[in-house]
Amino acid sequence: MTCRMPFSSPAGTRSALTIRLSHYLPLTASEAAAIEAAQGPRRKLIAGEALLDAGGPVDSLFVVQQGWLHSSVRPPVGGRQILSFHYPGDLVDNSSIAWARAPTTLTAVSDCIVSDISKKQLGALLAQHGRIAGLLYAVAAAEAMAMADRLTSIGRMNAIQRLATLILDMLARLRVTAGGVVDSFDLPLTQTDLGDALGLTKVHVNRTMREMEERGMIARNGRRIRICDEAALVGFTGFVDRHATIATDWLPPPR
Amino acid sequence: MTCRMPFSSPAGTRSALTIRLSHYLPLTASEAAAIEAAQGPRRKLIAGEALLDAGGPVDSLFVVQQGWLHSSVRPPVGGRQILSFHYPGDLVDNSSIAWARAPTTLTAVSDCIVSDISKKQLGALLAQHGRIAGLLYAVAAAEAMAMADRLTSIGRMNAIQRLATLILDMLARLRVTAGGVVDSFDLPLTQTDLGDALGLTKVHVNRTMREMEERGMIARNGRRIRICDEAALVGFTGFVDRHATIATDWLPPPR
DNA sequence: CGGATCGTTGAATGTATTCAAAGTAGGTGG
DNA sequence: CCACCTACTTTGAATACATTCAACGATCCG
């Protein structure tokens, strides 16, 4: 249970969500202020810590300020499936807004800082700022399409293509907040995690990464992973970047 | 190219979208009217016809009034992946709202009637009716969770469980608009379609359906499929109904 | 009746899993 | 600082589930 503080973040510091949304659409001062005001106090999580357990009650969503998380489920059969990863600037756990109990487990992959947004606050934000409602709707749609891409890769591609697609997607998403061209990043996931995200066993993930490295597709150095020939991977998988741009021309004018 | 008519549907006939949303939340007259007004003229599609091609320009979404559709993609490798099915009352192709070009292909599975909603109209609707914005957001979240369930079944379950999960999901969704308890329905899909939805080949779908029938899990008669022991299938797969209820207690009051 | 699409079946093949075990790295406490 | 523990990575061999290829049967429709 978190209590709401009179201020939600250090004065003058914009939340990662505001920054990310600004990336797609210049926000008015009033819109930015409303987004900041909706967010609760910041909380630290250490790597591996669960922010929320599937089946537990929820009355808020979360904003990732720093670090990575993932959402996962544990079907009665089949171990675990990681559904998506959450990066700085993400509004996390949209799925749980439809129910009183969380459908997924949220786990910190690295050390994180998150804020919560109560559902009621989000409802008020959507009602008061129609343009933000539309933008959040579009961002959620883009994330749904990114999940559809993973569904496609798991349903129709082999292990190398699945892994390549996931790496490209992470890279694309990190570029939105990192800015500039990035060709390598720290992957705070174990091979077990990767397997659970890709519908593979950790053993097969290992062999697959090894093969990709041998083929010169990627280079590894500890947790650091570098994409050697991005264009080749894109051609190989048909990857489409779902994060770089979001259409905003259909949005109503700001209020 | 569709032209907008002065009236969107026969007088006195509520669109399937209005009916479905009313199922989750009693709408005010003004809300219902706004939803009706946003919809364009109705259009008929015959089974197999494409409503929209991936890569083509789009400036509207669609409302299914009657019949089934599905959205699919064709990765450069791997044939086709069916991402989701769309039933009467669905607001279809949310994913394309984030871009100027359609990321998926929409195909009529049976004969259909659809209306379109231009993105601009949707934007205006969201801005004018904050409660509808929230409700549509929640419905989209529920659909995203249903897709996550399929991701899980493809990633972590065997063929029988995948098929069982899909059948249970269709049944659950049909119950929202059909009303009453249904234990059988007409499945207008070929085994190739099922395979493309489940990440299996048509051959394996065939063997799997056959085995389910032999085991007494389902009964088939032409296109008609009957679920013999629903509770057993649910226990077997861990299926959760994502369509029956949507939390609405967090929504702001109607305007 | 002919053609096309869909469903069914068998045999060979292949990709990924399972099981088992050894190697490696990072952190903790003595 | 080293010993130890734990979690993670790597490797091999046997197995399993699903695919591929090929063909035939059934059904629908013009």
Residue A9 CA to D6 C1' — how many Å? 38
B19-31 tens-digit pLDDT: 999 999 999 999 9
Nucleic strand D near CB of residue B203 (< 7 Å): yes
Closest by Cβ to A151, choosing from B83, B94, B96: B83
Structure tokens at B83: 């991402």
Q: How does B218-246 read in b/e, with b if 16+ C-beta sit within 10 Å? A: beeeeeebebeebeebbebbbbbbbbeeb
Q: Which residues pair with B92 in a beta bridge?
A: B62
Q: What's the confidence (pLDDT) of residue A222?
A: 87
Residue A60 CA to D18 C1' — how many Å? 42
- Whether residues A73 and B152 touch (CB distance < 8 A) is answered with yes
Phi–psi pair at A25, nearest 5 degrees: -160, 130
What proportion of chain A, given as a percentage, has pLDDT over 90?
A: 87
Q: What share of chain A is helix, strand, coil (3-state, %, to 5)?
A: 45, 20, 35
Domain locations in chain A as residue ranges: 16-144, 158-237
**A3 pLDDT higher than 60:** no
Residue A74 CA to D20 C1' — how many Å? 32
Nucleic strand C near CB of residue B44 (< 7 Å): no
Range with lowest mean pLDDT among A28-32, B41-45, B173-177, B225-229: B173-177
The listed CATH number (2.60.40.10, 2.60.120.10, 3.40.470.10, 3.40.50.300) that belongs to domain B16-144? 2.60.120.10
Angstrom distance (rounded) from CA B13 to CA B41:
13
Q: DSSP of B157-175, one letter per residue?
A: --HHHHHHHHHHHHHHHHH
Angle (nearest 5°) at CA A253 between A248 and B3: 70
Q: What's the confidence (pLDDT) of residue A95?
A: 86
Q: In this complex, which residue's CA is closest to the C1' atom of nucleotide D19?
A: B201
SS3 A208: helix
Residue A41 CA to C29 C1' — how many Å? 37
Angstrom distance (rounded) from CA B151 to CA B141:
15
Angstrom distance (rounded) from CA B176 to CA B233:
20
Helices (H), B71-158: 119-128, 130-156
Nucleic strand D near CB of residue A190 (< 7 Å): yes
Residue A206 neighbours by CB under 8 Å, 6+ apart? A191
Structure tokens at A90: 């993400």
Angstrom distance (rounded) from CA B197 to CA A104:
23
Residue owning tokens 């709408």: B27
Kindly state the average pLDDT of the residues A1-29: 74
CB-proximal positions of chain C, under 7 Å: 5-11, 15-20, 26
Helices (H), chain A: 16-24, 29-38, 119-128, 130-156, 159-178, 191-198, 202-214, 230-237
Structure tokens at A177: 């907040």
Kindly state the average pLDDT of the residues B164-180: 90
Angstrom distance (rounded) from CA A126 to CA A128:
6
Angstrom distance (rounded) from CA A196 to CA A71:
11
B104-148 tens-digit pLDDT: 999 999 999 999 999 999 999 999 999 999 999 999 999 999 999
**B84 pLDDT higher than 70:** yes
A134-174 tens-digit pLDDT: 999 999 999 999 999 999 999 999 999 999 999 999 999 99
Q: What's the confidence (pLDDT) of residue A12?
A: 57
Nucleic strand D near CB of residue A225 (< 7 Å): no
The amino acid present at A17, given as its one-letter code, is L
Which nucleotide's C1' atom has the smallest distance to the CA of A193?
D8
- Bigger pLDDT: B34 vs A5: B34
Residue of A nearest to B101 (CA): A247
Which nucleotide's C1' atom has the smallest distance to the CA of B48?
C5
Q: How does A151-177 read in b/e, with b if 16+ C-beta sit within 10 Å? A: bbbbbbbebbbbbbbbbbbbbbbbbbb
- How confident is residue A200, by pLDDT bands cut at 50, 70 and 90? very high
SS3 B112: strand
Top-level class of domain B158-237: mainly alpha
**Mean pLDDT for all residues in chain A:** 93
